[in-house]
């Protein structure tokens, strides 16, 4: 591979600009139409409102555990159940085992079942979005001496821009390869009020993003970043869920590296300004993706829609 001078960090706003309907509110509508029983269960457990979907990933970690456990814990005063419960406690005491190791939490199983179903639906939805792209919108990219860290799950970079696969890192999975798609929060939960509480927290922590797993232990990427001269961040929301990733990239690039970050709304600008702890100063340029737009190109009726004559 040639020396990498340009690093592109691609967020969901890039896919949306390209023509995909990949906002989380789109996922909500798709889920409600295709799998209403899962949508209703999510609504009941999380008290979902319209604003909830704007920060879908982060909201998954904000479950009111106390309220959930009280609502869905199985309670029964049947003598047999009481007897079995006493036997279980005696077993734990005899073998000095924490309750969570032998306790089967019905409310935790309910939550796990919902999140497993949500994972399945999420992966189907990403496939649906990619297959629905008809008239993509292109921007000017440096296709040579460049590397892409893609936070999205789609093939927009490979298909529309013909970037070789070995120069694209799908940091949270790639739908077309049937890889596990990683989404979730950065809110580690811990509650020791009882086995139900502990097990529910364990389920939620299974959807906690850990930057170390997906980027920090990547020695190849660490070496690659040393020579990068330009960082382009396109369509990135700077959600608290993904901030640690950008912090790590910033620390791995040189002090002379130039940064270009796209913004769409005033809220985006505010989030970017909050990250000035990076001390980019005069090395930062803010742009809008439509300033880089080349042309829209219909892929209807085209046998090879990956071929783009405008780049």
- Residue 306: the pLDDT is 41
Q: Is residue 298 within 8 Å of 134, Cβ to Cβ? A: yes
Cα separation, 252 vs 247, in Å, equals 9
Q: Is residue 137 within 8 Å of 17, Cβ to Cβ? A: yes
Cα separation, 51 vs 58, in Å, equals 12
- Residue 113: the pLDDT is 93
- Phi and psi at 139, nearest 5°, equal -125, 165
Residue 25: other Cβ atoms inside 10 A: 14
Sign of the dihedral defined by the CA atoms of residues 51, 57, 59, 63, in that order: positive
Distance from CA of residue 214 to its chain's centroid?
Answer: 11
- Residue 158: the pLDDT is 95
Closest CA to 161 of 287, 305, 260: 305
- Residue 77: the pLDDT is 42
Positions of the chain with pLDDT lower than 50, given as ranges? 76-78, 80-81, 298-311
| Structure tokens, 115 | 């999140």
- Residue 237: the pLDDT is 85
Residue 35: other Cβ atoms inside 10 A: 18
pLDDT digits (tens, 9 = 90+) for 69-117: 988 876 544 454 455 556 666 666 666 666 555 567 888 999 999 999 9
Q: Helix or strand or coil: residue 31?
A: helix
Residue 118: other Cβ atoms inside 10 A: 20
Closest CA to 238 of 246, 230, 249: 246
pLDDT digits (tens, 9 = 90+) for 155-195: 999 999 999 999 999 999 999 999 999 998 988 888 878 88
Q: How much is the mean pLDDT over the chain?
A: 83
- Residue 301: the pLDDT is 38
Query: Which pTM was predicted?
Result: 0.83
Distances from the Cα of 19 to the Cαs of 135, 263, 296, 299, in angstroms?
7, 17, 9, 12
Residue 91: other Cβ atoms inside 10 A: 11
- Residue 293: the pLDDT is 81
Cα separation, 299 vs 101, in Å, equals 55
Q: Is residue 152 within 8 Å of 11, Cβ to Cβ? A: yes
Helix, strand, coil tally for the chain in percent (to 5): 50, 10, 40
């Amino acid at each position: 591979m040639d020396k990498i001078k340009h690093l592109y960090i691609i967020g969901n706003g890039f896919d949306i600009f390209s023509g995909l309907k990949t906002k989380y509110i789109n996922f909500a509508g798709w889920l409600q139409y295709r799998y209403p029983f899962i949508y209703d269960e999510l609504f009941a457990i999380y008290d979902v409102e319209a604003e909830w979907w704007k920060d879908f990933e982060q909201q998954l970690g904000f479950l009111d555990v106390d309220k959930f456990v009280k609502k869905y814990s199985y309670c029964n005063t049947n003598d047999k159940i009481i007897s079995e419960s006493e036997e279980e406690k005696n077993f734990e005491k005899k073998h000095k085992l924490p309750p969570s190791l032998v306790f089967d939490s019905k409310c935790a199983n309910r939550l796990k079942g919902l999140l497993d179903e949500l994972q399945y639906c999420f992966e189907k939805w990403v496939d649906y979005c990619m297959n629905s792209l008809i008239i993509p919108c292109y921007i000017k990219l440096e296709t040579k001496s460049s590397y892409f860290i893609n936070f999205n799950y789609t093939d927009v970079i490979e298909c529309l821009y013909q970037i070789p696969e070995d120069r694209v890192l799908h940091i949270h999975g790639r739908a077309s390869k049937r890889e596990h798609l990683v989404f979730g929060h950065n809110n580690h939960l811990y509650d020791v009020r009882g086995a139900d509480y502990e097990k529910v927290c364990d389920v939620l922590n299974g959807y906690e993003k850990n930057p170390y797993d997906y980027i920090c232990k990547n020695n190849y990427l660490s070496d690659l970043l040393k020579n990068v001269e330009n960082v382009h961040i396109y369509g990135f929301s700077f959600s608290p869920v993904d901030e640690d990733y950008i912090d790590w990239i910033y620390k791995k690039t040189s002090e002379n590296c130039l940064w270009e970050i796209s913004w769409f709304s005033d809220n985006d600008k505010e989030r970017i300004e909050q990250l000035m702890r990076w001390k980019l100063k005069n090395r930062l340029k803010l742009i809008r993706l439509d300033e880089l737009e080349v042309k829209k190109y219909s892929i209807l009726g085209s046998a090879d829609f990956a071929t783009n004559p405008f780049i």
